[in-house]
Amino acid sequence: MLELRQVTKKVGAATHIEDVSLVLESGSLNVLLGPTLSGKTTLMRLMAGLDTPTSGDVFMNGAKVTGVPVQKRNIAMVYQQFINYPTLTVYENIASPLRVAGVNHAEIDRRVRQAAELMRLTPMLERTPLELSGGQQQRTALARAVVKRADLVLLDEPLANLDYKLREELRAELPRLFAETGAIFVYATTEPTEALLLGGNTATLSKGRVTQFGPTTEVYRRPADLITATTFSDPPMNTLRATKSGGAIALADGATLPATGRLARLGDGAYLFGFRPHDLHLEPGAGDTIAVPATVAITEITGSESFVHLDAPDGRWVGLMHGIKPIEIGARVEVRLDPERFFVFSADSGRAVVTPPAAAA
Residue placing its CB nearer to another protein in the complex, 12 or 303:
12
Q: 314 and 239 in contact (C-beta within 8 Å)?
A: yes
**Whole-number minimum distance, CB 50 to another protein, in Å?**
6
The Cα 182–Cα 151 span in angstroms is 8
Q: 222 and 274 in contact (C-beta within 8 Å)?
A: no
The enclosing H or E element of 294 equals: strand 290-301
Residue placing its CB nearer to another protein in the complex, 115 or 141:
141
Residue placing its CB nearer to another protein in the complex, 141 or 294:
141
**Whole-number minimum distance, CB 47 to another protein, in Å?**
12
**Whole-number minimum distance, CB 332 to another protein, in Å?**
45
Residue placing its CB nearer to another protein in the complex, 69 or 123:
69
**Whole-number minimum distance, CB 39 to another protein, in Å?**
18
**Whole-number minimum distance, CB 87 to another protein, in Å?**
4
Residue placing its CB nearer to another protein in the complex, 111 or 144:
144
**Whole-number minimum distance, CB 213 to another protein, in Å?**
25
Pairing of strands 290-301, 343-346: unpaired
Can you give the binding site for another protein, defined by CB under 8 A? 48, 50, 69-71, 75-77, 79, 81, 83-88, 96-97, 100-101, 141, 144, 148
Q: 95 and 107 in contact (C-beta within 8 Å)?
A: no
Residue placing its CB nearer to another protein in the complex, 70 or 264:
70
> CA 292: distance to chain centroid?
31
Phi, psi (rounded to 5 degrees) for 310: -125, 145
Write the CB contacts of 318 (distance below 8 Å, at least 6 apart in sequence).
Answer: 235, 236, 238, 277, 280, 307, 308, 309, 310
